Amino acid sequence: MAHLAVRKLPQALEPLRDLALDLRWTWSHGADEVWRALDPESWERTQNTWVLFREVPEARLEELAASAAFREELSRVVAARARYLAGPTWFGQEHQGAALGCVAYFSMEFGLGEALPLYAGGLGILAGDYLKASSDLGVPVVGVGLLYQEGYFRQQVDSNGWQQEAYPFNDPESLPIRPAVGSDGRWLRVSLELPGRQVLVRVWCATVGRAVLLLLDSNDPLNGPFDRGITGKLYAGGPEQRLMQEIVLGIGGWHALRALGYEPDVCHLNEGHAAFAALARARALSERHAIPFAEALWASRAGNVFTTHTPVAAGFDAFAPELVRKYFQAPILGRGAPSPDELLALGRRDPADGNEPLNMAYLAMRSCSWANAVSRLHGEVSRRIFQDLFPRWPRAEVPVGHVTNGVHVPSWDSKAADRLWTDCAGKARWLGSPEALGDAVQRLSDADLWAFRAEGRRELVRYARERLAQQLGARGVEGGTALAHDVLDPDSLTLGFARRFVGYKRPNLLLTDPERLSRLLDTAGRPVQLVVAGKAHPGDEEGKHLVRAWVEFVNRPAVRSRAVFLEDYDIALAQKLVEGVDVWINTPRRPWEACGTSGMKVLVNGGLNLSELDGWWSEAYEPEVGWALGDGAEHSEPAWDSIEADQLYRLLEEEVIPAFYDRDRRGVPHAWVTRIRASMARLAPRFSTNRMIREYVEQLYLPAERACRARGDRKAALARELVAFGVRIDENWGQVRFGEVRVGAVDGGWQFEAEVHSGELSPDSLRVELYAEPAGGGGEPLRRPMDRGEAIAGTPNGHVYRARVPSGRPPSDYTARVLPFHPEVRLPVEERHILWQR
């Protein structure tokens, strides 16, 4: 097997191989001195242990093998890694004996570090943070993604301020991955039946601490040229290539898991891109138990979790019917799989509409029993988006909950932050429950917090100057190094602003009035500086113009020393930005920011947020921890952007800048530091992946595993029962009707009586209840079960149902309704029938 894993090393250095292949070094920096010793220049330039492992000369390896000091340091690092891998974990301690043995996490992107550039933005970085936190907490997770030959583009800005794109090749030999080995001892390949040909997909493996990431790669010499390019670029090509990528991810990913001996208890789909995995899982269960696909889907979807990150319906992937038929006429899922038309029906708003495309998010909703958005507000938005799939159901009951995203704090804290948190909360602070960490932060002194912030700001200024010098040099600017050395000031209030440059994120809201911004940056005696970064999609001309506007602004002579635009926004740049900025600014158009984790990354480093009340900030904001933009409502009027731009300027001019520079005689801004302390103590633990992973495990994974196991036991006997239940409901629901509904006053409340006729359906398969919308428009709706009473004389399966409610609300607020009932059926995601009192 031609891969560097077989490179011969001096015996004393053999542990380097496993260390270099464990991506834990992207967040645990205990081995940094080992890598620096191999080749300090290459380490600083690449931050890629596998490149070092490949490039270090034999003579240097022999020299290090002979060094007692190096061997001692290597032994220390190896022992620390062994303790981490073998030590107790949150999951092992809190859920000892749980049957959850494997969670398969499917995602189109994974952002683990610049050594493995398989991400475009927030979705991928979230997936990378998820794997890292799963490793820290001991949750048994296997990630499944794609190995892109070129990945996402790299950005350079030319002398005219125009974004240029480059697509460097991801040479597998220089990536910290290794071929996955099948049961026959050979490099694992999975085979997919595409129209008229067989496509081979190679499987690579990345180690992420205790977690594993499988990466699928179609660039096999035995494939045709077009198929070799399936995994060519992230989010590139037309609909057909995108469909093939999602087939490889979902179906190929499922086959790879099974071939390597993984038996997932839970499949977690990180966006609808991976929905085909749910079909592959059902098909495998169908074959194992020799049961129809419909029964297998009922059994397996109880173990499937779908996370939606999309705030607008237009953002979902959708494929034309003729394209779906082309690829699913082939036996890609095997015999007994759904026909193309059955598959299309699963992924349509209206299953009977033959012209409607296959919507991958709809397919995920219909093949998963559990769905969640990524913030509380995004949950409300998602229930609105998916409302059409659940006609006649109230929006509050559309089955999409929320688990607000978090960030993997050890990946985003600075060296100064790591020291500060270690001193006050211990080295194991992010390896378990984070709730108590806030108390430790509260005990820090104002002087210590302010000194810590100053150190982070100085490091950002140093880094920004260095990076700016490189980009000016690449642009051919004469004296670029000297110019870069004169920008920014380590003692000035530093604002950070970095994101994908797309219209709905309003990256130029702060640039609405350039003259006012210029004056703000040069406030007499209270200087302000600004660090900006971000990319526009290569096909987004509007986004490129937004980038150019910022480049032109920072090149103005009056602001050149106070503002910089740093090219090629990536994980490495993001880490430095969030470590050093005093205020992180975020200005999306509400409610289009599903979550937005960039602002969470400044929390551990003592940065504050000034953000639109959207995504995570709408649930995090309190006046004591930062500043809020907007009024917490949605606006479509054209003038609203100008109104919020003025609000942004006024917040900076009247609140942020004065608070930063209001100092005591020792130069400490106590009101500012009080905000820092409150933000770190209240928000950093709450918006960490520790909290996020625990919610996934306890609210979704463990219940999903139990439900899926129950449905699959005894050759899916319960699943067969549920299919039969669904058929009975479908065939007889039209017979269910209301008779008379009466209401009367009783002591302290209202007594409702409803006559319900169930026709051929047993009354035991129905639930009758009163429903009322939330009082005052907030909170949860009221659902009051109605007790079944006496039969209605002369009518088969007719009964009187009764319930009593308090008199605090008028009886007109309540409506009786009938729902299907089976203790193992989740409404309405698995059974959508509902009948309302007229």
> What pLDDT, on a 0 to 100 scale, did the predictor assign at position 335?
80
* Predicted pLDDT at 4: 47
Residue 433 has pLDDT above 90, yes or no: no
Tokens of 499: 């994101």
C-alpha–C-alpha distance, residues 310 and 384, integer Å:
12
Domains 415-687 and 736-836 fall in the same CATH topology: no
702 pLDDT exceeds 90?
yes
Nearest Cα residue to 627 out of 658, 604, 605: 658
Rounded mean pLDDT of 768-786? 90
CA distances (Å), origin 318, targets 45, 353, 357, 361, 542: 40, 15, 6, 8, 24
Give pLDDT, residue 214: 98
* Complete DSSP assignment for 210-221: TEEEEEEE---T
Apex CA 817: angle with CA 816 and CA 818, to 5°? 140
Query: Mapping DSSP to helix (H, G, I), strand (E, B) and coil, where does residue 351 land?
Result: coil
Q: Please list, in sequence order, all residues whose beta carbon lies within 8 angstroms of the beta carbon of residue 73, skipping any fewer than 6 positions away.
A: 33, 34, 37
Query: Is pLDDT at 580 greater than 70 in this prediction?
Result: yes
Residue whose pair of structure tokens reads 């995920």 in the numeric block = 364
pLDDT digits (tens, 9 = 90+) for 611-670: 999 999 999 999 999 999 999 999 999 899 999 999 999 999 999 999 999 999 999 999
What pLDDT does residue 3 have? 52
85: confidence class by pLDDT, cuts 50, 70, 90: very high
Mean pLDDT of 239-257: 97
| Contact assessment for residue 304 and residue 368, using Cβ atoms and an 8 Å cutoff | yes
Task: Tell me what the mean pLDDT of segment 217-246 comes to.
Answer: 94
pLDDT > 60? residue 231: yes
Strands (E) located in 115-257 = 117-118, 141-146, 154-157, 163-166, 178-179, 189-194, 197-208, 211-217
Q: What is the pLDDT of residue 5?
A: 53
pLDDT tier at 480 (50, 70, 90 boundaries)?
confident
Architecture of domain 415-687: 3-Layer(aba) Sandwich (3.40)
d(CA 267, CA 255): 13
- Note if the bond before 796 is cis, omega within 30 degrees: no
At 141 the pLDDT is 98
Work out the average pLDDT over 289-314: 95
458: its two tokens: 């100085």
Coil, strand or helix: which one is 520?
Answer: helix
Amino acid, single-letter form, for residue 564: V
Contact status, residue 512 vs residue 642, Cβ threshold 8 Å: yes
Query: For 48-64, how does the pLDDT look when each residue is reduced to its tens digit (9 = 90+)?
Result: 999 888 888 999 999 99
pLDDT in tens, 310-331: 999 999 999 999 999 999 987 8
Q: Mean pLDDT of all residues in the chain?
A: 94
Q: Is the pLDDT of residue 344 over 90?
A: yes
Average pLDDT for 337-364: 95
Say which CATH class 100-405 falls into: alpha beta
- Name the more confident of 475 and 554: 554
Whole-angstrom Cα Rg for the chain = 29
pLDDT on residue 425: 85
Nearest-angstrom CA–CA distance, 222 and 598: 42
Q: For residue 151, what pLDDT is reported?
A: 78
Residue-level pLDDT at 38: 93
89-126 pLDDT tens trace: 999 999 999 999 999 999 999 999 999 999 998 999 99
- DSSP letters, 79-94, are HHHHHHHHS--HHHHH
Per-domain boundaries in the chain: 4-86, 100-405, 415-687, 736-836
What is residue 25's predicted lDDT score, i.e. its pLDDT?
93
CATH, domain 736-836, list 2.30.40.10, 2.60.40.10, 2.115.10.20, 2.40.30.10: 2.60.40.10
What average pLDDT score do residues 497-503 get? 93
The pLDDT of 178-188, averaged and rounded, is 94
Spatial contact of 754 and 736, defined as CB atoms under 8 Å apart: no
Report pLDDT for 6.
Answer: 62
3-state secondary structure 316-338: CCEECHHHHHHHHCCCCCCCCCC
